Structure 1
Amino acid sequence: MKISAIEFVALSAPLGTAKPYGMSKSLATGRQSTVVRMTLENGIVGYGEAWGMPAFNRGYEAFLVNYLVGIDVFDIEHAYSRILARHYHFGVQGPMMACISGIDIAAKDAMGKLLGLPVCKLIGGQRVDSVPIYASGGYVTETPAEDFRPQIETMAEAGYPSVKIKIGLGPDSDEERVAIAREILGDEVELLVDINSNYTYDLALESMERLAPYRIGWVEEPLSPADFSGYGRLRARARLPIATGEALYTVFDFKTLVDAGGVDILQPDLSLCGGFWQGRKIAELAHANHLRLSPHVWGGAIGLAAGIHFIASLSVFPHSENIPKPTLLEYDLGANPLRTELLAEPILVENGRVSVPEGPGLGIEVDEEALLRYAAA
Structure 2
Amino acid sequence: MSKIKKVTCHVVSAPVAKPFTSSRGWIYKTRGSCIVEIETVDGIVGWGECYGPSAVAKSFIDTQYAPRILGMDSFDVEVIWEELYNRIKDYGTRGMAISAISGIDIALWDIIGKSCGQPIHKLIGGSYRTEVFAYATGLYFIDMDRLIEEAVEEALEFKGNGFTAIKMKIGLGNPKFDIKRVEAVRKAIGDDIRLMVDANHCFTVPQAIRIGRELEQFDVEWFEEPISPEDIDGYVEVTRALDMAVAGGENEFTRWGFRDLVVRKAMDIVQPDVCAAGGISECRKIATLASAHGVECVPHAWGSAIGLAATLHFLAALPDQPPSFKGNPPLLELEQCENPFRDLLSIEPIEQHNGKVKIPTGPGLGIEINRSVLDQYRVS
- Same fold by TM-score, threshold 0.5 exceeded? yes
After superposition, give the CA deviation of every residue in 1:172-226 in whole Å (9 maximum; x if it has no partner).
1221111011011101111000000011111111110111111110000001111
Aligned mates of 1:126, 1:239 — CA distance in 2: 32
Preserved CA contact (<8 Å) 1:27 1:141 = no
Preserved CA contact (<8 Å) 1:167 1:173 = no
After superposition, give the CA deviation of every residue in 1:295-343 in whole Å (9 maximum; x if it has no partner).
11111111001111100011226414421x3200000111111111111
Seq. identity, %:
38
Match of 1:336 among 335, 339, 348: 339
Aligned mates of 2:106, 2:86 — CA distance in 1: 21
Does 136-145 or 306-315 show the bigger shift? Answer: 136-145
Query: How many residues in Structure 1 have an aligned counterpart in Structure 2?
Result: 374
SS of residue paired to 1:92: coil
Aligned mates of 1:125, 1:268 — CA distance in 2: 20
| CA pair 321-43 structure 1, distance change in 2 beyond 3 A | farther
Aligned mates of 2:148, 2:128 — CA distance in 1: 43
SS of residue paired to 1:141: coil
Matched with 1:85 is 86
Aligned mates of 1:180, 1:2 — CA distance in 2: 56
Q: Tell me how large the CA RMSD over aligned residues is.
A: 1.3
Unaligned regions of 5+ residues in structure 1, if any? Answer: none
Aligned letter for 2:81? Answer: Y
Aligned mates of 1:165, 1:105 — CA distance in 2: 29
Give TM-score, length-normalised by structure 2: 0.95
Preserved CA contact (<8 Å) 1:60 1:96 = yes
Matched with 1:72 is 73
Preserved CA contact (<8 Å) 1:171 1:206 = no
> How far apart are 1:142 and its partner, in Å?
3.8
SS of residue paired to 2:376: helix
Matched with 2:151 is 148
Aligned mates of 1:86, 1:363 — CA distance in 2: 31
Aligned letter for 1:292? Answer: E
Match of 1:374 among 364, 374, 377: 377
Does 302-311 or 141-150 show the bigger shift? Answer: 141-150
> How far apart are 1:84 and its partner, in Å?
2.5
Match of 2:226 among 213, 222, 233: 222
Match of 2:365 among 350, 362, 365: 362
Matched with 1:189 is 193
Aligned mates of 2:311, 2:299 — CA distance in 1: 6
Preserved CA contact (<8 Å) 1:134 1:162 = yes
Aligned letter for 2:3? Answer: K
SS of residue paired to 1:290: coil
Q: Which runs of 4+ in 1 moved over 3 A?
A: none
Matched with 2:34 is 34
After superposition, give the CA deviation of every residue in 1:18-49 in whole Å (9 maximum; x if it has no partner).
21113111221111111000101100001011
Aligned letter for 2:38? Answer: M
Does 79-88 or 339-348 show the bigger shift? Answer: 79-88
> How far apart are 1:78 and its partner, in Å?
1.5
> How far apart are 1:145 and its partner, in Å?
4.6
SS of residue paired to 1:207: helix
- The reply on whether 1:266 has 2:267 as its aligned counterpart is no
> How far apart are 1:116 and its partner, in Å?
0.3
Aligned mates of 1:245, 1:260 — CA distance in 2: 14
- After superposition, residues 76-155 of structure 1 pair within 5 angstroms as 76-143=77-144, 144-155=147-158
Matched with 2:351 is 348
Matched with 2:330 is 327
